[in-house]
């Protein structure tokens, strides 16, 4: 296990989140998401990413945090984090536990704002506190203290399994 | 164990071992059936397979496989030398060993952890045992199962005859095996067993130089995806080239805007200059600029012949490539059928029943993913047959049935689909039991059950949460029911239905697509979103003008219905089912009081209804708009979107947009439509009214005074086309539309008629049904659909390409003969002209009440020399048959006045002299139930009207005439 792990940071509302950079395929602000009726509000819709179909999720609803973007954001260009599939991540890093957490299909997460990629020392990661007003602890792998801010490290396995277990 | 250094070598070896294991299983089954009568060839084949596996694994020093195969091999040698007999006990041990082998081969990494001691220990005794000892052992084992054993022996003879009938290569007579000569012939193979050093070589020699390659499935999947993307890219390219989208359209729009501003500029200048002369001058100058612009920019793109022909090439190559890639994924059904005999054998032994299985259609090919998806359902269905369907030998004997039960598994091509049928001769479904069970489970109410016909009851066993077995046994009923089977089949776009008569057995029939990659889908809009509906689910489109809605659409409580050809279609609003705002409600206030605010909300001027099929039932789906169809690649529904039943897939459209594929059955389900409630009467009525449409004819013009007519049932599709979509290649005209190139036939070139008086920008392109090659002809104007074809007079003109003439609405109308036109358009594939008049010795009686169809069928048959006598009802036909006149065949319609076709055949079959008389039904009624009914009264064939090739082929078959292809 390397001592340093890289995280892509992003914001939903005022909250700062981070996900393991290895799980990220790309960030794209120009995907046009088509809403799909009768699929629940955690799913924003489906987009065509260069011939691949991407199901775009709404993490703000799943995390129960308020998004600063207005509800009609489908038709505006908000950044979308496209995640690797479980097969892709195994190719880039054999034996990674992420392979079991990611989906066999292409999934995107629409967020409010993309931040920097941060190098985090393993030792700096603390367990998630239980009092995360409104947000369930199971969605987090831990937290990292940054200057004046707290980055919440997303547990992708929990996030992605929401609503996909039909 | 770490094999990484051996890599590919291991993969190759495992692949080979799997191939061998696949041949071992059926051979073992046959060995068990034939017992000592088995021939040396089979034993040698078994030996070779086991030996090859052993050789390969020993070479790589993989001990466990080597050890197990070694024991198997030595027992096989003793079997071959006739020192042992193939008792069920021995074969059981062998099966266990083979199963273990396949576990090991499939999990080569952990091969060391798989225990094989039991299998080896079980087989070991047979290495030394004498035949006498074996017989003793067999007797001991048998005393428990005497009853079963005897019933088995009784059937050995029957089994044998069946085997030789179904097997590809009949085995040499069993008696020959015992003779010394047979042994001498086997000499070379004898060496194989003893000279161990040569073994490797021999094994290689036996594997015939193969013409196929192993390709990783992942590579094929990738290729498949790429081919799909390529088709999409091609569609996008061609819509750009033909100017339907992209740059060219932008340019055209730009020119339109430029023209507008030119005339505005000209208007201002006119005011200022105060003279029309200067305005004319300015306009003329600006026009020059416009023309030049068009010439330089637009024309080269639009009219470039090179671009067009390159596009046509790309079209052709893409389709060709895609088809070929698709075919690499086809696998024979034998892959799944192969495991059935073993499974039935094992189940039979477990259940203490004697069951035999007959399989045909091993060679029918389907896409790998479809084969994989139906594999489990198929296993489940067969288990059901064995467990619930087939009775025990004692029960069967009481019912006067042969003590051995029979399961037949068949696969045949059926148009562009494949039909798989599982037939058993067991106890069948018990309607009372089903009824009680369904009521108990709350699936239906007692009242519903009382009025429900048996055919509907049978489909209830596929409802979720239904299982008829009194006791959930070890064999079936492990939580997966028929509902899962049904869902699996339907997820493929297939259908499944069950027919059964109590005490006689059950038939399960599945219709499956051959591939599932690319389909035609119509685009629909509802609630501001675009959806795709597979063409195969659509029956027709109905447009109800706004002012007619009040009279044509009837309301029943909350729901509305529309009357179509005498039957009521329930209407469902797509927007309602999907829970999105409807945006319009034809004059009534919308729930929630939505107010029109943008163009999405503008009320359309007509109600658009897509009539959808779900099995034999129909319903209308109301949408806002219906667009043209597109070729789309279906992708599986994302796991996040499976919450709704409404979708069967997702797809990317040619403009790059994303759309969900709708599922007609799922929508009906979500909308709460319950078709089971409809009685059979309603169903029959709808079938009958469809048959009535056989009298509808389409009237059209071809730019002159003449009016033409074609039976609507012969029309597959009508398109409005622009003349610019017709291209000329190699002196022939083709319509290039929707990435499909269809030859164009101009009537004036094939009929003695005048040319259209003027060239038009648009034509109607009429594509006939039942043509061997794609083809379409042009019409300038569509007039009307006229009911009844009685008006045709066949004696006046019966020229080439014309069936006859008639006075319709006081106008002389030519009835065109599309089959003749087709044959003359494609003279090279005219089957009839290359054949002699092979039916010239035959006299055929044709009972058909429609003079039009009588004429068409007569023409087909006289083309091959037959003498046809036509009558217009069943009574007349019956009198003629009884008058002593000689006929060789009866062709009859079903729906006829006085005596129907079914009644006619019943009478024929009841008559001693005519019992065997060949009878063929030709009809427009085409549901499975109709065909079954026709066959049950004794028809030799049941054909759909107007398919000429099929008709001629069937007649030749029924009469036993050889036709030289």
Report residue B169's pLDDT band, with 50, 70 and 90 as the boundaries. Answer: very low
CB contact at 8 A, B847 and B890: yes
Q: Distance (Å) from the C-alpha of residue A122 to the closest C-alpha of chain B?
A: 33
The dihedral built from the CA positions of residue A89, A94, A100 and A105, taken in this order, carries a sign that is positive
Tell me whether A164 touches chain B (CB under 8 Å).
Answer: yes
Residue B615 has pLDDT above 60, yes or no: yes
CB contact at 8 A, A156 and A83: yes
CB contact at 8 A, B649 and B634: yes
* Residue range B664-689: mean pLDDT, rounded: 64
Q: pLDDT tens, B882-905? A: 887 888 899 998 877 778 888 899
Interchain contact, A166 vs B639, CB within 8 Å: yes
Contacts of A41 in chain B (CB under 8 A): none
Contacts of A53 in chain B (CB under 8 A): 635, 638, 650, 652, 658
* Residue range B384-408: mean pLDDT, rounded: 88
Interchain contact, A37 vs B580, CB within 8 Å: yes
Contacts of B659 in chain A (CB under 8 A): 34
pLDDT at B898: 76
Residue B804 has pLDDT above 80, yes or no: no
* Residue range B797-801: mean pLDDT, rounded: 64
Identify which has the larger pLDDT, A76 or B670.
B670
Identify which has the larger pLDDT, B142 or B29.
B29
Token look-up 């319903």 returns B619
Residue B304 has pLDDT above 90, yes or no: no
Q: Distance (Å) from the C-alpha of residue A126 to the closest C-alpha of chain B?
A: 31
Residue B425 has pLDDT above 60, yes or no: yes
Report residue B584's pLDDT band, with 50, 70 and 90 as the boundaries. Answer: low
Tell me whether A53 touches chain B (CB under 8 Å).
Answer: yes
Interchain contact, B641 vs A103, CB within 8 Å: no
**Of all residues in chain B, what percent carry a pLDDT higher than 70?**
74
Interchain contact, B644 vs A57, CB within 8 Å: no
Q: Tell me how far apart the 2 most distant CA atoms of chain A are, in Å.
A: 45
Tell me whether A55 touches chain B (CB under 8 Å).
Answer: yes
Residue B621 has pLDDT above 90, yes or no: yes
d(CA B889, CA B891): 7
Identify which has the larger pLDDT, B207 or B453.
B453
Q: Which of B351, B693, B667 is nearest to B537 (CA)?
A: B667
What does the radius of gyration of chain B's CA atoms come to, in whole angstroms? 34
Identify which has the larger pLDDT, B814 or B168.
B814
B67 three-class SS = helix
Tell me whether A87 touches chain B (CB under 8 Å).
Answer: no
Nearest CA in chain B to A32: B657
* Residue range B667-690: mean pLDDT, rounded: 60
What does the radius of gyration of chain A's CA atoms come to, in whole angstroms? 15
To 5 degrees, how large is the angle CA B848–CA B854–CA B859?
A: 145
Q: Distance (Å) from the C-alpha of residue A77 to the closest C-alpha of chain B?
A: 16
Q: pLDDT tens, A98-109? A: 888 888 889 999
Question: Which one-letter DSSP state was computed for residue B632?
Answer: E
CB contact at 8 A, B539 and B632: no
* Residue range B750-778: mean pLDDT, rounded: 80
Tell me whether A34 touches chain B (CB under 8 Å).
Answer: yes
pLDDT at B468: 52
* Residue range B786-794: mean pLDDT, rounded: 61
Q: pLDDT tens, B312-348? A: 778 778 777 877 777 787 888 988 898 888 889 888 8
pLDDT at B155: 44
Residue B136 has pLDDT above 80, yes or no: no
CB contact at 8 A, B775 and B825: yes
Residues of B with CB under 8 A from a CB of A: 229, 232, 527, 529, 578-580, 635, 638-644, 646-647, 650, 652, 656-660
Q: Distance (Å) from the C-alpha of residue A23 to the closest C-alpha of chain B?
A: 19
* Alpha-carbon distance values, B262 to B284, B288, B610, B654, B675 (Å): 10, 12, 45, 35, 62
Identify which has the larger pLDDT, B740 or A90.
A90
Q: Which of B783, B770, B767 is nearest to B735 (CA)?
A: B767
Interchain contact, A53 vs B635, CB within 8 Å: yes
pLDDT at B563: 81
Token look-up 């990494």 returns B109
Q: Which long-range contacts (CB under 8 A, 24 or more apart) does B141-147 make?
A: B141/B88, B141/B89, B145/B352, B147/B393, B147/B394
Mutual angle of helices B246-273 and B217-241, in 10-degree steps: 20
Q: How crowded is residue B170: how many other Cβ atoms within 10 Å of its Cβ?
A: 9
Mutate which of A39, A47, A50 to test chain B, going by most B C-beta atoms within 10 A?
Answer: A39
Mutate which of A32, A46, A47, A72 to test chain B, going by most B C-beta atoms within 10 A?
Answer: A46
Pairing mode, strands B529-534 and B518-526: antiparallel
Q: Which of B787, B805, B788, B786 is nearest to B797 (CA)?
A: B805
Q: pLDDT tens, A20-38? A: 999 999 998 878 888 888 8
DSSP assignments along B587-612, one per residue: TSPPTT-----SGGGSPPSEEEEEEE
pLDDT at A166: 36
pLDDT at A2: 65
Residue B568 has pLDDT above 90, yes or no: no
Q: What ipTM goes with this model?
A: 0.87
Q: Token digits for B790?
A: 């009685």
Residue B240 has pLDDT above 70, yes or no: no
pLDDT at B738: 65
CB contact at 8 A, B68 and B117: no
pLDDT at A115: 92
pLDDT at A10: 95
Q: Distance (Å) from the C-alpha of residue B647 to the closest C-alpha of chain A?
A: 10
Residue B587 has pLDDT above 80, yes or no: no
By mean pLDDT, which of B382-386, B733-737, B930-934 is the weakest?
A: B733-737
Interchain contact, A53 vs B652, CB within 8 Å: yes
Q: Which of B393, B347, B424 is nearest to B153 (CA)?
A: B393
Q: Supply the mean pLDDT for chain B.
A: 75
Residue A63 has pLDDT above 90, yes or no: no
pLDDT at B477: 42
Give A 97-116 residues with CB within 8 A of chain B.
103, 105, 107
Which of A48, A107, A164 shows the shortest C-beta gap to B657? A48
Q: pLDDT tens, B218-230? A: 787 778 777 777 7
Interchain contact, B640 vs A55, CB within 8 Å: yes
How many Cβ contacts (< 8 angstroms) between chains A and B? 61
To 5 degrees, how large is the angle CA B59–CA B62–CA B64?
A: 130
Q: Return the H-helix or E-strand segment holding B559.
A: strand B559-564
Identify which has the larger pLDDT, B507 or B794.
B507
Tell me whether A166 touches chain B (CB under 8 Å).
Answer: yes
Residue B302 has pLDDT above 70, yes or no: no
Q: Token digits for B696?
A: 């509808």
Residue B692 has pLDDT above 70, yes or no: no
Residue A116 has pLDDT above 80, yes or no: yes
Q: Token digits for B100?
A: 């273990």
Residue B617 has pLDDT above 50, yes or no: yes
By mean pLDDT, which of A75-79, B607-611, B675-679 is the weakest?
A: B675-679
Interchain contact, A51 vs B657, CB within 8 Å: no
pLDDT at B771: 66
* Residue range B158-162: mean pLDDT, rounded: 42
Residue B591 has pLDDT above 70, yes or no: no
* Residue range B851-855: mean pLDDT, rounded: 74
**Of all residues in chain B, what percent carry a pLDDT higher than 90?**
5
Residue B295 has pLDDT above 70, yes or no: no
CB contact at 8 A, A48 and A32: yes
B227 three-class SS = helix
Q: Distance (Å) from the C-alpha of residue B652 to the closest C-alpha of chain A?
A: 7
C-alpha B563 chain-centroid distance:
31
Report residue B687's pLDDT band, with 50, 70 and 90 as the boundaries. Answer: very low
Report residue B792's pLDDT band, with 50, 70 and 90 as the boundaries. Answer: low
* Residue range B576-588: mean pLDDT, rounded: 69
* Alpha-carbon distance values, B791 to B805, B871, B894 (Å): 8, 17, 22
Pairing mode, strands B658-662 and B529-534: parallel
Interchain contact, B643 vs A38, CB within 8 Å: yes
Report residue B373's pLDDT band, with 50, 70 and 90 as the boundaries. Answer: confident
C-alpha B31 chain-centroid distance:
36
DSSP assignments along B876-937, one per residue: HHHHHHHTT---SEEEE-SS-SSS-HHHHHHHHHHSTTTTT--EEEEES--SHHHHHHHHHT
d(CA B750, CA B748): 6
Identify which has the larger pLDDT, B559 or B347.
B347
Tell me whether A46 touches chain B (CB under 8 Å).
Answer: yes
Q: pLDDT tens, B58-87? A: 777 778 888 888 888 888 888 888 888 878
The C-alpha torsion from B200 through B204 and B207 to B211, rounded to 10°, is: 150
Q: Which of A72, A60, A56, A63 is nearest to A13 (CA)?
A: A60
* Residue range B251-279: mean pLDDT, rounded: 66
Q: How crowded is residue B875: how many other Cβ atoms within 10 Å of its Cβ?
A: 17
Q: How crowded is residue B135: how many other Cβ atoms within 10 Å of its Cβ?
A: 13
Report residue B268's pLDDT band, with 50, 70 and 90 as the boundaries. Answer: low
pLDDT at B758: 75
């Amino acid at each position: 296990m390397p001592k340093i792990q890289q995280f892509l940071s992003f914001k939903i509302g005022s909250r700062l989140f981070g996900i393991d950079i290895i799980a990220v395929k790309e960030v794209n602000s120009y995907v046009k998401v088509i809403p799909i009726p009768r699929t629940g509000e955690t799913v924003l819709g489906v987009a065509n990413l260069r011939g691949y179909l991407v199901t775009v999720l709404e993490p703000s609803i799943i995390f129960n945090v308020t998004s600063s973007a207005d509800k009609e954001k489908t038709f505006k260009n908000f950044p979308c984090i496209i995640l690797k599939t479980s097969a892709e991540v195994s190719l880039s890093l054999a034996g990674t536990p992420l392979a079991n957490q990611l989906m066999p299909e292409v999934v995107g997460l629409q967020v409010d704002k993309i931040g920097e990629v941060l190098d985090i020392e393993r030792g700096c990661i603390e367990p998630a506190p239980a009092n995360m007003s409104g947000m369930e602890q199971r969605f987090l792998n831990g937290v990292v203290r940054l200057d004046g801010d707290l980055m919440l490290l997303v547990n992708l396995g929990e996030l992605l399994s929401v609503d996909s277990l039909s | 164990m770490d094999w990484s250094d051996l890599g590919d070598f291991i993969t190759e070896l495992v692949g080979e071992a799997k191939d061998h294991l696949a041949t071992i299983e059926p051979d073992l089954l046959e060995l068990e059936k034939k017992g000592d009568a088995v021939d040396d060839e089979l034993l040698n084949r078994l030996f070779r397979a086991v030996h090859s596996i052993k050789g390969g694994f020993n070479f790589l020093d993989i001990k466990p496989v080597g050890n197990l195969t070694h024991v198997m091999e030595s027992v096989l040698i003793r079997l071959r030398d006739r020192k042992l007999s193939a008792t069920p006990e021995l074969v059981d041990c062998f099966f266990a060993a083979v199963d273990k082998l396949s576990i090991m081969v499939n999990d080569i990494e952990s091969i060391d952890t798989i225990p094989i001691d039991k299998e080896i220990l079980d087989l070991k005794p047979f290495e030394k045992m004498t035949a006498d000892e074996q017989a003793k052992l067999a007797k001991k084992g048998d005393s428990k199962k005497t009853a079963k054993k005897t019933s088995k022996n009784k059937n050995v003879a029957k089994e044998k005859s069946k085997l030789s009938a179904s097997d590809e290569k009949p085995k040499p007579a069993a008696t020959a095996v015992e003779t010394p000569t047979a042994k001498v012939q086997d000499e070379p193979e004898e060496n194989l067993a003893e000279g161990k050093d040569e073994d490797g070589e021999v094994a290689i020699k036996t594997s015939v130089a193969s013409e196929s390659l192993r390709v990783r499935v992942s590579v094929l999947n990738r290729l498949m995806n790429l081919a799909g993307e390529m088709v999409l890219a091609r569609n996008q390219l061609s819509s750009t080239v033909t100017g339907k989208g992209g740059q060219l359209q932008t340019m055209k729009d730009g020119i339109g805007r430029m023209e507008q501003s030119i005339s505005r500029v000209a208007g201002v200048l006119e005011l200022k200059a105060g003279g029309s002369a200067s305005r004319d001058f300015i306009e003329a100058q600006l026009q020059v600029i416009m023309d030049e612009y068009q010439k330089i920019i637009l024309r080269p793109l639009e009219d470039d012949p090179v671009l067009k022909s390159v596009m046509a090439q790309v079209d052709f190559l893409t389709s060709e490539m895609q088809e070929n890639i698709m075919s690499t994924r086809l696998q024979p059904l034998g892959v799944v059928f192969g495991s059935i005999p073993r499974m039935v054998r094992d189940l039979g032994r477990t259940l203490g029943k004697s069951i035999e299985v007959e399989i045909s259609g091993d060679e029918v090919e389907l896409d790998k993913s479809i084969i994989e998806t139906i594999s489990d359902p198929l296993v489940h269905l067969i288990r059901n047959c064995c467990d619930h369907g087939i009775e025990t030998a004692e029960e069967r004997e009481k019912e006067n049935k042969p003590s051995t039960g029979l399961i037949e598994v068949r696969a045949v091509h059926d148009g562009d689909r494949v039909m798989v049928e599982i037939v058993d001769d067991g106890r069948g479904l018990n309607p009372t039991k089903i009824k009680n069970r369904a009521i108990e489970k709350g699936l239906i109410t007692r009242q519903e059950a009382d009025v429900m016909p048996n055919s509907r009851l049978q489909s209830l066993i596929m409802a979720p949460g239904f299982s008829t077995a009194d006791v959930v046994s070890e064999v079936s009923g492990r939580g997966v029911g028929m509902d899962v089977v049904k869902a699996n089949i339907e997820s493929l776009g297939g259908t499944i239905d069950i027919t059964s008569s109590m005490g006689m057995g059950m038939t399960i029939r599945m219709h499956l697509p051959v591939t599932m990659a690319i389909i035609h889908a119509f685009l629909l809009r509802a609630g501001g979103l675009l959806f795709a509906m597979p063409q195969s689910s659509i029956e027709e489109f109905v447009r109800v003008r706004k002012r007619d809605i009040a009279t044509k659409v009837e309301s029943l409580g909350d729901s509305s219905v529309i009357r179509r050809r005498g039957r009521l279609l329930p209407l469902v609003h797509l927007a309602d089912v999907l829970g999105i705002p409807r945006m319009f409600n034809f004059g009534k206030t919308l729930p929630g009081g939505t107010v029109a605010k943008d163009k999405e909300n503008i009320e359309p001027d007509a109600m658009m209804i897509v009539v959808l099929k779900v099995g034999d039932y129909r319903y209308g789906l109301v949408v806002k708009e219906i667009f043209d169809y597109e070729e789309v690649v279906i992708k599986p529904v994302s796991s996040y979107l499976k919450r709704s039943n409404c979708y069967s897939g997702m797809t990317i459209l040619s403009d790059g947009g994303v759309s969900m594929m709708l599922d007609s059955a799922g929508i009906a389900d979500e909308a709460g439509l319950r078709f089971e409630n409809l009685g059979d009467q309603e169903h029959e009525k709808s079938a009958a009214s469809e048959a009535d449409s056989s009298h509808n004819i389409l009237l059209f013009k071809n730019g002159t005074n003449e009016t033409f007519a074609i039976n609507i049932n012969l029309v597959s599709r009508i398109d409005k086309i622009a003349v610019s979509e017709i291209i000329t290649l190699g002196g022939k005209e083709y319509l290039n539309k929707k990435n499909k190139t269809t030859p164009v036939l101009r009537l004036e070139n094939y009929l003695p008629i005048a040319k259209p008086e003027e060239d038009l920008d648009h034509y109607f392109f009429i594509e006939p049904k039942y043509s061997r090659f794609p083809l379409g002809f042009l019409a300038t104007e569509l007039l009307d659909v006229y009911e009844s074809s009685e008006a045709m007079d066949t004696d006046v003109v019966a020229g080439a390409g014309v069936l006859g003439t008639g006075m319709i609405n006081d106008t002389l109308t030519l009835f065109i003969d599309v089959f003749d036109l087709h044959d003359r358009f494609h003279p090279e594939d005219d089957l009839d002209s290359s054949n002699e008049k092979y039916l010239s010795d035959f006299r055929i009686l044709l009972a058909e009440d429609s003079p039009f169809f009588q004429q068409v069928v007569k023409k087909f048959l006289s083309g091959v020399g037959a003498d046809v006598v036509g009558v217009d009802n069943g009574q007349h036909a019956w009198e003629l048959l009884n008058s002593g006149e000689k006929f060789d065949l009866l062709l009859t319609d079903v729906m006829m006045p006085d005596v129907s076709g079914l009644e006619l055949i019943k009478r024929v079959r009841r008559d001693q002299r005519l019992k065997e008389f060949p009878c063929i039904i030709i009809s427009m009624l085409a549901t499975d139930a109709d065909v079954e009914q026709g066959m049950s009264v004794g028809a030799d064939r049941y054909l759909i009207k107007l398919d000429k090739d099929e008709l001629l082929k069937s007649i030749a078959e029924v009469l036993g005439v050889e036709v030289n292809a």
